């Protein structure tokens, strides 16, 4: 038996997409890790899975698994690729935004059109910006100071965009200790579910540069929820305007937020298809040992 998949990326953040509407999802954590291996498998940051909706309020269920096999709540770049898959395959016509159930809540995605290079652009309603888990301590959501051991004490904005984020402002993203500090914080008691760590360089009130260490993946070329989290922290601190271009290693996205906690935040960006392929079932049944 062979399994069809499609390799896609959103600004270099890459995915393997599986349509499981007509078959049960049976991948184990170990199998996902094997598939994500860039030397022995497909190679991807996340696996995206399309399933039938849980009820009539939604069009689809969208699940995300990191390269380490763990299931996560949200992925903005993946959401755009998910939508492009639906459009390219003729599964959804985008005469209206698609309404998608995710692990925690739901999102809506709309097709915007093509950019100057002919790439498809999608707008994702990323859900609510939530600083509330940390509001029991004064200003902690925006100014949580964390001792990062040998790297010093840093001030982080801590919030949820469906998944947990910690964002710090740095002078230069090129010299930031992204992997070192990002890896260190995965075992910090403040983050029992681990955390995506963003390093934001301010380039004006409408533009930032950003690098993100993603839990379960490490640093990626782009992170959609990370772009939204960094923008929200910057706006909440009065450092940014409500519409911000976020420069990531893989390209740019546009993020908008009105600055009100629990208000929805939106992101526009590209999605690209790389190739389609098949996995032989025997690959999943063997090991490298």
CA distance 286 to 256: 46
3-state secondary structure of 175: helix
Among residues 123, 125, 115, the alpha carbon closest in space to that of 268 is found at: 123
Cβ atoms of 165 and 234 closer than 8 Å: no
> CB count, 10 Å around CB of 138?
7
CA distance 45 to 212: 13
Residues designated catalytic: 75, 223
Among residues 30, 134, 141, 124, the alpha carbon closest in space to that of 77 is found at: 124
Cβ atoms of 229 and 142 closer than 8 Å: no
Write out the two tokens for 78: 């993946």
CA distance 84 to 226: 21
Among residues 109, 113, 105, the alpha carbon closest in space to that of 96 is found at: 109
Cβ atoms of 94 and 27 closer than 8 Å: no
Write out the two tokens for 239: 């450092």
Among residues 258, 248, 243, 203, the alpha carbon closest in space to that of 77 is found at: 248
For 236, residues 6+ apart whose C-beta sits below 8 A from its C-beta are: 131, 141, 142, 157, 259, 261
């Amino acid at each position: 038996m062979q399994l069809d998949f499609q390799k896609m990326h959103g600004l270099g953040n890459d995915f393997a997409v599986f349509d499981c509407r007509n078959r049960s999802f049976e991948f184990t954590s170990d199998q996902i890790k094997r598939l994500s291996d860039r030397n022995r498998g497909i190679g991807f940051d996340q696996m995206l899975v399309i399933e039938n909706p849980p009820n009539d309020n939604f069009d689809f269920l969208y699940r995300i698994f990191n390269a380490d096999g763990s299931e996560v709540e949200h992925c903005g770049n993946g959401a755009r690729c998910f939508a492009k898959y639906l459009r390219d395959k003729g599964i959804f016509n985008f005469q209206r935004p698609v309404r998608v159930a995710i692990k925690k809540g739901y999102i809506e995605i709309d097709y915007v059109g093509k950019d100057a290079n002919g790439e498809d652009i999608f707008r994702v309603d990323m859900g609510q910006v939530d600083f509330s888990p940390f509001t029991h301590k004064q200003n902690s959501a925006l100014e949580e100071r964390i001792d990062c051991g040998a790297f010093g004490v840093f001030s982080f904005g801590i919030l949820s965009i469906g998944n947990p984020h910690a964002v710090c402002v740095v002078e230069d993203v090129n010299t930031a200790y992204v992997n070192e500090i990002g890896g260190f914080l995965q075992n910090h008691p403040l983050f029992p579910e681990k955390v995506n760590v963003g390093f934001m360089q301010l380039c004006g009130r409408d533009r930032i540069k950003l690098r993100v260490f993603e839990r379960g993946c490490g640093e990626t070329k782009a992170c959609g929820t990370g772009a939204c989290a960094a923008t929200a922290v910057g706006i909440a601190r009065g450092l940014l305007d409500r519409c911000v271009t976020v420069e990531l290693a893989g390209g740019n996205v546009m993020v908008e937020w009105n600055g009100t906690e629990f208000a929805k935040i939106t992101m526009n960006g590209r999605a690209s298809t790389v190739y389609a392929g098949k996995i032989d079932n025997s690959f999943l049944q063997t090991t490298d040992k």
